[in-house]
């Protein structure tokens, strides 16, 4: 009799603990391939699942090469989704354009929506005030990639930018490769080839993370480290001024792990200009192009810990300042994405580099390759 009572009690505790672990996600909607199969611009869209043998699952659609789900465990072994996204292609089409996307041909901003290359001025779409953002009106975040599932843990996607597309010069063939490794890392590996003309290019992975597993909760308690002693100060249109500003004695210094919320409301002009953090950090690297630690994030309640490694020279950190809880743009997978409910760690070359000769070049010459890699590794502590 006593054994039965103990067994019953144990079951109640286990089931109760399980339910408590998922209480934050009680209305969660799982993205499925069936809900992503649709023709967009005459091309087939689908949802691809990659995973490892330890329970980590990532789902990616070839519409914008967007990451729609990342499932990883917390300190108690409870697996939950830690990236904002949408449960269907219809939701994604009406959602945040950059959410989860692999962004090109030029990620981030180009000031004045123009640049000069080889003595010729190129005028671009003004889709962010007076600036061009994330490749223009229809950068790759709104395009359908060709996709090929390699195996259970990896998928590759291809997109070729046409000469003159969004008024950028040159045909540019690109490949992005996603892999989930056995040590709970998501690898984003990418290459670009300038087929016929010199061009400019900049790429990034644009996921909105929330390590709590509650995708509609604020991220201000997340403890952040950024491996950078300098950042790029911005003007009132969020374009870098061209300076490399020291982070010392400013709210931009994350060399000692600090919660987002600790200083985000400080009386500091850079935070006011961006309505929070939306800045590019110049990563401290021993050698250019090395794959090195750029940043980390830790959510204390769940214990989830994420490290970001990259070959890129810079990292844009954004605190979801444009999330507003609007229906249907900010509603996905059963959650409402309120103000500052997700953060980005976008590794890339510097914004507005085509107009800043002192910045590392973003020119890819005709016949040349460019390659980069960013790794998001998950654990607990």
Q: What does the pLDDT look like over 330-372, one tens digit per residue?
A: 999 999 999 999 999 999 999 999 999 999 999 999 999 999 9
Q: What does the pLDDT look like over 303-326, one tens digit per residue?
A: 999 999 999 999 999 999 999 999
Q: What does the pLDDT look like over 243-263, one tens digit per residue?
A: 999 999 999 999 999 999 999
Does the pLDDT value for residue 15 go beyond 60?
no
**346 annotated active-site:** yes
Which of 206, 222, 279, 280 is the catalytic position? 206
How far is residue 286's CA from residue 149's CA, in Å, rounded to a whole number? 35
**148 annotated active-site:** no
Whole-prediction pTM: 0.93
Average pLDDT, the chain: 94
How far is residue 128's CA from residue 240's CA, in Å, rounded to a whole number? 15
Domain 27-380 in CATH 1.10.30.50: no
Report yes or no: 108 and 204 within 8 Å, Cβ to Cβ: yes
How far is residue 223's CA from residue 298's CA, in Å, rounded to a whole number? 5
How far is residue 201's CA from residue 164's CA, in Å, rounded to a whole number? 13
Q: What does the pLDDT look like over 18-66, one tens digit per residue?
A: 333 333 445 899 999 999 999 999 999 999 999 999 999 999 999 999 9
């Amino acid at each position: 009799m006593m054994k039965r009572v103990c067994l019953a009690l144990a079951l109640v505790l286990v089931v109760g603990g399980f339910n408590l672990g998922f209480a934050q996600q009680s209305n969660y909607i799982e993205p499925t391939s069936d809900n992503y199969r649709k023709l967009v611009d005459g091309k087939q869209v689908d949802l691809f699942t990659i995973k490892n043998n330890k329970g980590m699952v990532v789902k990616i659609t070839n519409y914008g090469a967007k990451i729609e789900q990342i499932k990883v465990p917390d300190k108690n072994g409870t697996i939950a989704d830690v990236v904002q996204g949408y449960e269907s292609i219809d939701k994604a089409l009406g959602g945040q354009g950059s959410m989860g996307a692999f962004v090109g041909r030029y990620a981030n901003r180009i000031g004045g929506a123009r640049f000069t290359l080889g003595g010729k001025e190129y005028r671009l779409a003004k889709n962010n005030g007076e600036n061009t953002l994330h490749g223009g009106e229809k950068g790759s975040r709104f395009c359908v990639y060709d996709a090929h599932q390699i195996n259970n843990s990896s998928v590759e996607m291809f997109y070729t930018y046409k000469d003159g597309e969004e008024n950028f010069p040159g045909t540019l063939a690109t490949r992005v490769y996603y892999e989930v490794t056995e040590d709970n890392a998501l690898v984003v590996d990418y290459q670009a080839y300038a087929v016929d003309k010199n061009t400019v290019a900049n790429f990034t992975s644009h996921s909105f993370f929330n390590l709590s597993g509650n995708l509609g909760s604020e991220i201000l308690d997340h403890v952040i480290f950024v491996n950078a002693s300098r950042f790029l100060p911005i003007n009132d249109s969020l374009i870098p001024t061209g300076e490399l500003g020291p982070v010392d004695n400013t709210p931009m210094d994350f060399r000692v792990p600090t919660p987002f919320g600790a200083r985000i409301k400080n009386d500091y002009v850079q935070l006011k200009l961006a309505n929070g953090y939306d800045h590019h950090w110049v990563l401290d690297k021993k050698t250019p192009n090395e794959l090195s630690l750029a940043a980390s994030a830790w959510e204390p309640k769940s214990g989830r810990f994420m490290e970001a490694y990259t070959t890129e020279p810079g990292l844009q950190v954004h605190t979801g300042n444009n999330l507003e809880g609007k229906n249907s743009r900010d509603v996905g997978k059963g959650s409402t994405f309120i103000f500052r409910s997700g953060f980005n760690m976008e590794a890339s070359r510097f914004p507005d580099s085509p107009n800043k000769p002192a910045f590392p070049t973003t020119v890819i010459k005709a016949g040349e390759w460019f390659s980069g890699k960013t790794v998001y590794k998950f654990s607990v502590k």
